[in-house]
Each structure stands twice: as structure tokens, then as C-alpha cells.
């Protein structure tokens, strides 16, 4: 008798097991000699070695299918564990706008030409600047690309950071400890991740620090290897802060810097580190600058008109 534990690394346990283990019980007849014990993200197998190997093969196909489509129905379970072939899926590998599927199979994709350029830039360059006004999908697209890289195991962790600059508000007067003060400021990053992971999986990744969200000051002294790193609201970095951040890049790291140069909240007329970085690095071969504009706004249609009016003065 052999034993093996399999970790449901990218599949939500409820999605694979089903309510009251409905899907897991559907698999049991295909492997009558195997004993299944499900505990959270771990599935323990006990039985003949050849049966364990057959199960692992089918499970790998199930995981890949779920990563591609965000779906794992009982019909798909039957197909995978009975016929041992991958079913036809709604996933189209030639769809270059598609980034990944979120919970429930919702497709997350580039919705504008410049967002598509951002995807291509990240595929080809280690450092990408995405600059443009609010609502153009800079942060959301970057977070989706980070999640895609994590699911494909191109990186081992995601690091999301923002400079903790007060945009007219005073953080010091907010209640709670430092984390409680800063979490609301980081909420847009949590919101984007919530569209891409089931709640329990996101909680798991945050707790084991596979996904890290922290103010920019917490990046000092670190070397970020095998990581997809996003600096959001980068227009509010000072020049020394931006230099500090960019020099955190380690081996096999992908850096994306997003910002809106029309919304600089730095006090005392300090110069934006984002503006300086773009000027200094615009001709560096492995760095790329993508500019988004009002045509890329994916919020309420009125937002585009608001941006146009403000730009016109």
C-alpha cells in the first residue's frame, strides 16, 4: 500500500470536493481501491501505487482545466477521471486579450488597445511603467497579470505596494494600529485580487505571504527574487523612494509601476519619482513605458468625459 498527499494549490477545496464532497464522491467509483481523506487544501491518498499515479494524472488535468476556465463541474470531473482526456473548454489559447479566469469562470481580459499593449510589454520586459489617468485599468490589468504569473508558476509570490501618502486626509487620526490605518488605503489592491481568487484561497495566500500587500516604506532593504511586484500610485513616490524601489529587483522578478502624473499628492512641492524614473529609463532596453489615456477608461462612461474636461482645463 502506498500513500500520497496532494495539495490543491490552485483549486478551491469546495470547488474540487463539492458541497458535502459531492464531486469527490463522484470520483471514488473510478478508484475503488483508493482511500480518500480530504483536509482543507490537502487530499491524502492511500492504496495501490498505480492507482495513485492514475489519480495524480487526472487531477493534474483537472487543475489545468480549472486554471484555464475557472470552472470544474461534475460533468468535467466525469470526463477527466473516466476518459482520462482533457475536455473541450471555453478557453481559447489564441485569444491574446484573455489574461485569466476568475471565480465562477468570469473572463478577465484586456478591454482596450493600450491595455493589450501593457500585456505584451509585461511579456517582453522586466520593468514596465503604465502611466495614465484614473479608470484606465492600469492597476487592475497589472494585478491580473501578476495572478496569471503566479498560477503559471512563473513566480513564487506577488508583492503589491503603494506609497502611504495622504491625499488630503490625515492617517494619524484614523483609529487602530498601523495595519488598520493602512488597510483602507490598500483597498483597491484587495478589491482587484477579490475578483481573481475565491475568498478562502485569497485569505490563504495572504496568510502564508504568497501575496504580500504593504506600504512602500516596508520594501527598504529587501531583495525581491522570483516575484511579480507592482508599485501602485507611483506618482506619489519621491525620487529617492523610486530609486529605492527599483533597486529591489532580484532574480526572475517582474516589476510593474503604475501611476497618474495628474494626481500627485506629494507635500511641500516635492518632485515625483515616477516622472524622474520615466525620464531616466525611457531608453533602457529591458524597460518599457505604456501610456494610457481617456480612450482606455473602463469605468462609468461619464469618467471619460470628466477626464477630458479636466485635461482641457
User: Do the beta carbons of residue 226 and residue 251 sit within 8 Å?
Assistant: yes
- 268-285: average pLDDT: 91
Q: pLDDT tens digit string along 181-220?
A: 667 778 888 999 998 888 888 888 999 999 998 888 889 8
User: What's the CATH number of domain 2-83, 3.30.1370.10, 1.10.645.10, 3.40.50.300, 3.40.50.970?
Assistant: 3.30.1370.10
CA distance linking residue 262 with residue 186, whole number of Å: 20
Collapsing DSSP states into helix, strand and coil, what is residue 225?
Answer: coil
CA dihedral of 11, 87, 19, 29, whole degrees rounded to 10: -110
Of the chain, the percentage scoring pLDDT greater than 70 comes to: 87
Whether 174 shows a pLDDT value over 60: the answer reads no
**Residue-range domain boundaries for the chain:** 2-83, 98-312
Collapsing DSSP states into helix, strand and coil, what is residue 248?
Answer: coil
pTM above 0.95, yes or no: no
| Chain mean pLDDT for the chain | 84
Q: pLDDT tens digit string along 60-92?
A: 888 777 766 667 778 888 878 776 555 544 444
**What is the structure's pLDDT at 169?**
41
Which residues neighbour 174 within 8 Å (Cβ) at sequence distance 6 or greater? Answer: 180, 181, 184
**What is the structure's pLDDT at 167?**
42
- 235-262: average pLDDT: 94
**What is the structure's pLDDT at 172?**
52
3-state helix, strand, coil in the chain (%, to 5): 45, 20, 35
CA distance linking residue 195 with residue 268, whole number of Å: 37
Whether 43 shows a pLDDT value over 70: the answer reads yes
Q: How confident is the model at residue 101 (pLDDT cuts 50, 70, 90)?
A: confident
**What is the structure's pLDDT at 303?**
73
Whether 10 shows a pLDDT value over 70: the answer reads no
- 266-287: average pLDDT: 91
Of the chain, the percentage scoring pLDDT greater than 90 comes to: 41
CA distance linking residue 74 with residue 128, whole number of Å: 41
Q: Which CATH class is domain 98-312?
A: alpha beta
**What is the structure's pLDDT at 134?**
85
Identify the residue with better confidence: 168 or 35. Answer: 35
Q: How confident is the model at residue 147 (pLDDT cuts 50, 70, 90)?
A: very high
**What is the structure's pLDDT at 109?**
85
Whether 232 shows a pLDDT value over 70: the answer reads yes
> What is the per-residue burial (b if ≥16 Cβ within 10 Å, else e) of 61-82?
bbbebbbbbbbbeeebbebbbe
CA distance linking residue 158 with residue 149, whole number of Å: 9
**What is the structure's pLDDT at 185?**
73
Nearest Cα residue to 132 out of 265, 267, 297, 281? 297
**What is the structure's pLDDT at 60?**
83
Helices (H), 84-236: 113-124, 138-151, 178-182, 187-194, 199-207
Identify the residue with better confidence: 93 or 80. Answer: 80
- 242-259: average pLDDT: 96
**What is the structure's pLDDT at 122?**
96
**What is the structure's pLDDT at 84?**
56
**What is the structure's pLDDT at 309?**
81
Q: How confident is the model at residue 38 (pLDDT cuts 50, 70, 90)?
A: confident
Amino acid at each position: 500500500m502506498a500513500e500520497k498527499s496532494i495539495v490543491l494549490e490552485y483549486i478551491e477545496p469546495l470547488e474540487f470536493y463539492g458541497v458535502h464532497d459531492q464531486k469527490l464522491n463522484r470520483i471514488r467509483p473510478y478508484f475503488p481501491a483508493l482511500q480518500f481523506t480530504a483536509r482543507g487544501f490537502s487530499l491524502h491518498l492511500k492504496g495501490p501505487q498505480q492507482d495513485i499515479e492514475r489519480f495524480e494524472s487526472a487531477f493534474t488535468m483537472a487543475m489545468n482545466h480549472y486554471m484555464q476556465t475557472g470552472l470544474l463541474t461534475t460533468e468535467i470531473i466525469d470526463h477527466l477521471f473516466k476518459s482520462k482526456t482533457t475536455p473541450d473548454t471555453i478557453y481559447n489559447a489564441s485569444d491574446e486579450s484573455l489574461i485569466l479566469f476568475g471565480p465562477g469562470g468570469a473572463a478577465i481580459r484586456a478591454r482596450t488597445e493600450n491595455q493589450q499593449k501593457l500585456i505584451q510589454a509585461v511579456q517582453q520586459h522586466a520593468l514596465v511603467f503604465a502611466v495614465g489617468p484614473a479608470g484606465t485599468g492600469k492597476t487592475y490589468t497589472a494585478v491580473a497579470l501578476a495572478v496569471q504569473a503566479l498560477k503559471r508558476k512563473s513566480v513564487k509570490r506577488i508583492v503589491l505596494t503603494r506609497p502611504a501618502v495622504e491625499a488630503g486626509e490625515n492617517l494619524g487620526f484614523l483609529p487602530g494600529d498601523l495595519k488598520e490605518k493602512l488597510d483602507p488605503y490598500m483597498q483597491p489592491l484587495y478589491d482587484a485580487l477579490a475578483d481573481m481568487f475565491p475568498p478562502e484561497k485569497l485569505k490563504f495566500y495572504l496568510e502564508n505571504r504568497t501575496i504580500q500587500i504593504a506600504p512602500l516604506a516596508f520594501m527598504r532593504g529587501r531583495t525581491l527574487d522570483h516575484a511579480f511586484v507592482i508599485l501602485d500610485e507611483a506618482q506619489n513616490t519621491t525620487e529617492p523612494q523610486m530609486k529605492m524601489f527599483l533597486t529591489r529587483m532580484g532574480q526572475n522578478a517582474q516589476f510593474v509601476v503604475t501611476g497618474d502624473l495628474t494626481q500627485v499628492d506629494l507635500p511641500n512641492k516635492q518632485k515625483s519619482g515616477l516622472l524622474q524614473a520615466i525620464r531616466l529609463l525611457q531608453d533602457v532596453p529591458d524597460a518599457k513605458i505604456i501610456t494610457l489615456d481617456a480612450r482606455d477608461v473602463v469605468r462609468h462612461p461619464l469618467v471619460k468625459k470628466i477626464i477630458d474636461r479636466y485635461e482641457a482645463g
